[in-house]
Structure 1
Amino acid sequence: MSFLKSSRFRLWLVVLSLFAISACAIQQPVKENSPRVFVVGDSTASYYKPERYPRTGWAMRLQNHLADGVEVVNAAVSGRSSRSFIEEGHFNKVKEQIKQGDYLLIQFGHNDQKTTNNRFTDPDNTYRDYLTQYINAARQAGANPVLVTSINRYKFSQNGKLFLTLGDYPKAMHELGRTLSVPVIALNQKTKTLYETLGPEKSKKLFLFYAPGEYAAYPNGVSDRTHLSVWGADEVVSLVVEDLKQIAPELF
Structure 2
Amino acid sequence: MRAFGTAVLFGILLIGDSTVTAEKGWGPGFCADTTGLAQCTNLASSGKTTVTWQAQTQYKDMITRCKTANTYALIQFGHNDQKVMTTTQFAANLTSLTNKIKSAGCSPVLLTSLARRTFSSEHATSDSLGPYSAETIKVASSLGLPLLPLLADSRAYLDKLGKTNAMKFNYASDDTTHLNSLGAKYFGRIVADEVKSKVSALSSYIVSDTALSAKIAAGTL
CA shift digits 1:213-238 (9 cap, x unpaired): xxxxxxxxx31110011111111111
For residues 39 and 158 of structure 1, the distance between their equivalents in structure 2, rounded to whole angstroms, comes to 33
Structure-2 residue corresponding to 1:179: 142
Please state how far the C-alpha of 1:90 moved relative to its aligned partner.
3.6
How many Å apart are 1:159 and its aligned residue? 5.6
Where do 1:27-106 residues align within 5 Å?
33-48=8-23, 56-88=24-56, 90-99=58-67, 100-106=69-75
Gaps of 5+ in 2: 206-221
Q: Which amino acid aligns with 1:34?
A: L
- Counterpart of 1:164 in structure 2 is 127
Instruction: Map Cα deviations across residues 49-95 of structure 1 (whole Å, 9 max, x no partner).
Output: xxxxxxx3211122222222441110000111111111445422211
Identity of aligned residues (%): 27
Alignment partner of 1:123 is 2:87: yes
> TM-score, structure 1 length as denominator?
0.73
Q: Residues 194, 71 of structure 1: CA spacing in aligned structure 2 closer, same or farther, 3 A cutoff? A: same
Structure 1 unaligned residues grouped into runs of 5+: 1-28, 49-55, 115-119, 210-221
- 1:244 corresponds, among 195, 202, 214, to 195
Aligned to 2:77: 108
Q: Normalising by the residue count of structure 2, what TM-score does the alignment of the two structures yield?
A: 0.82
The higher-RCO structure (CA 8 Å, 6+ apart) is 2
Asked whether the equivalents of residues 148 and 186 of structure 1 are also in contact (C-alpha less than 8 Å), the reply is yes
Tell me: CA distance 1:70–1:88, structure 2 relative to 1, closer, same or farther (3 Å): closer
- Preserved contact between residue 29 and residue 186 of structure 2 (Cα < 8 Å): no
Give the paired residue count: 200
